Amino acid sequence: MPAHFDFATAGRIVFGAGVLQQLKDILPALGHNILLVTGSGGANPERLHTLLRELGVNWLPVQVIGEPDLRFLYAALEQARAAQPDVVVAFGGGSALDTGKALAALFPNPGDPLDYLEVVGNNQPLRTPALPVVAIPTTAGTGSEVTRNAVLAVPQQKVKVSLRSPWMLPRVAIIDPELTYSLPPEITASTGMDALTQVLEPFVSIRANAITDVFCRDGLLRAGRSLRAAFEDGHNPAAREDMALASLFGGLALANAGLGAVHGFASPLCGMYPAPHGAVCAALLAETTRINIRALEQREPASPALDRYSEAARILTGRPVAARKDLVTFLAELTAALRIPPLGDWGVHAADVPAVVEKAALASSIKANSIRLTPEELAEILETCI
């Protein structure tokens, strides 16, 4: 664990059942000409529309269909510049929140969005602060409401990459678990497994620190006891609250400690195939954990990450004597119970493995993995998950 670290997050976090109503008190101080970014599924935005009408503000609606890509971003950015908003409200899953953050960042900054993108772009820093963003998640998965990046698909390169800046941290995050009650079981499962991944990967990351550890430990506990319950009964208030907190804690952790190989794979896989981010992470989590543990035991047996994996096993299983192998078993059984489809269901074939491995090795997320995996190990993970 590093002796020195810094920690950054959203300017304000408002959490609890029914807190969406507080938008009426929060928004007037930020602006009155609103760019409203919503997703295509999940919670009905009518409650939000009612609040905006009661405030008497103007808003330009932008709806994200599926996961955002550069082509959509160019068109939405043109709309935003014509409307001249002074605040962005992003309401929906990770796609809506990431799009809202990206538009808020690019609106005041000149040039092409590619100037600022990682991996496939020029990775230039933003020159001007982003518009203020109010992020309102309606799924419990990405934690995007408290992160400093937006993930965007680049169809020409068949990859997903990040736009990243400290200025992209939302001004306010409003997390209301009631907004997740209407999620169907399959979305609850995939986004919930993403949330679980995002408290496990930062916990064993080479950049883990004392603050993120607090969020990861509590997030693991909540996801371990409530993900299956939320999947089985979407209107279980305690389970939905636990998962909303696990997602929030995952966002806080990953933004400050990084992720790992699961998200390293998700970048190219979600760019090459019509696979939702959460579903990809869910399909990969158990096997990636197994290979990480095996590689550490073989090459870095003194690594503190091995103790972290053992601790995660005890937290998730609730068994004081659980070992690392029990963690892998728990994750595999949870994946089966949630009916997570294998990667092959999204069109991934064995012949694609070398290309995916090559692209995953360039992803920013994989740099914080608990150990540097070989190309052969990365290929083994993919082949098993197909």
The C-alpha torsion from 16 through 21 and 26 to 27, rounded to 10°, is 130
Which of the residue ranges 49-53, 99-103, 159-163, 296-300 would you say has the lowest mean pLDDT? 159-163
Q: How far is CA 85 from CA 4, 78, 140, 168, in A?
A: 39, 12, 28, 16
pLDDT digits (tens, 9 = 90+) for 126-164: 999 999 999 999 999 999 999 999 988 888 777 788 899
Q: What is the mean pLDDT of the chain?
A: 94
What separation, in Å, do the N-terminal and C-terminal C-alpha atoms of the chain show? 34
pLDDT digits (tens, 9 = 90+) for 13-23: 999 999 999 99
Question: What is the pLDDT, as a whole number, of residue 375?
Answer: 97
Q: How confident is the model at residue 2 (pLDDT cuts 50, 70, 90)?
A: low
Paired tokens of 273: 């195939």
Residues in the chain, overall count: 386
Rounded to a whole number of angstroms, the CA Rg of the chain reads: 20
φ/ψ of 215, rounded to 5, equals -65, -40
Whole-angstrom distance, CA of residue 313 vs CA of residue 336: 18
pLDDT digits (tens, 9 = 90+) for 238-264: 999 999 999 999 999 999 999 999 999
% of the chain at pLDDT higher than 70:
99
305 or 69: whose pLDDT is higher? 305
Nearest to 196 by CA among 268, 278, 258: 278
Q: Is the pTM of this model over 0.85?
A: yes
Nearest to 239 by CA among 292, 291, 200, 189: 189
Whole-angstrom distance, CA of residue 88 vs CA of residue 270: 26
- pLDDT for residue 96 is more than 70: yes
Contact 138, 180 (CB under 8 A): yes
Question: What is the pLDDT, as a whole number, of residue 235?
Answer: 97
Q: Taking the CB of residue 73, how many other CB atoms lie within 10 A of it?
A: 21
Q: How confident is the model at residue 360 (pLDDT cuts 50, 70, 90)?
A: very high
pLDDT digits (tens, 9 = 90+) for 23-42: 999 999 999 999 999 998 76
Q: What is the DSSP letter of 62?
A: E
Question: What is the pLDDT, as a whole number, of residue 299?
Answer: 98
Question: What is the pLDDT, as a whole number, of residue 1?
Answer: 53
Nearest to 265 by CA among 377, 145, 121: 377
Rounded mean pLDDT, 228-237? 98
Rounded mean pLDDT, 335-358? 96
46 or 245: whose pLDDT is higher? 245
